[in-house]
Amino acid sequence: MSNVHDVGGTQLDSVSAAVTADDVGDGDVLTRSLGWAFWLAIGWLVFIVAAAILAPWLPLKDPDANYINPDLGRPPYSPGSTHWFGTDQDARDVFSRTIHGARVSLTVGFVAIASGMIIGGTLGTIAGYFRGTFDRVISFLFLVLLSFPALVLAILITSLLDRGLLTISATLGFLAIAPVGRLARATTIQYAEREFVLAARTLGARHPRIIVRELLPNVVIPMGALALLGMAVAIVAEGGLAFLGLSVEKEETWGKLILLGSGSRDLENAPWISMGPIFVLFLTVLALNFAGDRVRAHFDVREVSL
């Protein structure tokens, strides 16, 4: 039996590769160009992530120092060669604080969508493959999570628990489980009856191998596109929590920096206090949304509503 199984495994790899190649056909999506704008968006994301990681070692001003200049009068000071984004009411450099704030905002976005993909993606893939009672239970849980107002749930969790980086990230990650899980489930159902999966079953492949080797590569592609879009949503959601006073404590984030300059008097007399973080946040969210949309279109990921 072991020899038959080994031969079957070899045949399985060959059949899977052949069927996958036939499915792609002449219109191979990998030959499509993502376009220069996609790589420009990726370049910005690489730049802002690198700047956030290396912020403590970059030649930036101290984000907590007060750069009071008697020659300029009372702060805040407008943007110039000394302070690129100007200073806030306490004469702190807005540009430096924006770069340092990127560390927390990007971490929240990444951890949130990563946890949502791991938990939701796993549950959705298993439910879509095995179907039956497990699928009905998981689908009902997803439906319950989607039916509950996300903002209300986030406020409830962050109000009851401490507002640390882990809590905020876990809260937003919890909210990402249902959307990611439903996409993973729908994509799994779409591919579960394809020829290469049926061939794997016929040749005696076990369920874990079919899920990991045959289904997962096809599920990861639409989930990757959703991850970029979901990270953008998580970053914006953190900003929304910051305006409610429920963002990360003892850490600067883009949302908290924008809130600092959102007063009517500040917006009238010193708009740069909030415009600097808003500009960087806007470019980052735009890059994530555009890159995610291009990945979705590049791999021909279709919207599903299963």
pLDDT higher than threshold 60 for residue 285: yes
Give Cα separations from 197 to 3, 34, 191, 206 (angstroms): 22, 29, 8, 11
**In angstroms, how far is CA 263 from the centroid of its own chain?**
30
pLDDT digit string (tens) for 166-180?
889 999 999 999 999
Residue 135: which of 176, 175, 184, 202 has the closest Cα?
Answer: 184
pLDDT digit string (tens) for 251-269?
889 999 999 888 878 888 8
Terminal Cα-to-Cα distance of the chain (whole angstroms): 40
Average pLDDT over all residues of the chain: 83
Tokens 């951890």 appear where? 111
Residues forming beta bridges with residue 93, ordered by sequence position: 87
pTM of the full predicted structure? 0.81
Q: Given pLDDT bands bounded at 50, 70 and 90, which one contains residue 301?
A: low
- Give CA angle at 159 (280, 100), nearest 5°: 25
Out of 33-37, 226-230, 233-237, pick the least confident. 33-37
pLDDT at 97: 94
For residue 2, count other CB atoms closer than 10 A to its CB.
6
CATH no. for 2-18+36-57+87-298:
1.10.3720.10
Averaged over 78-97, what is the pLDDT?
A: 92
Give percent of the chain above pLDDT 70.
87
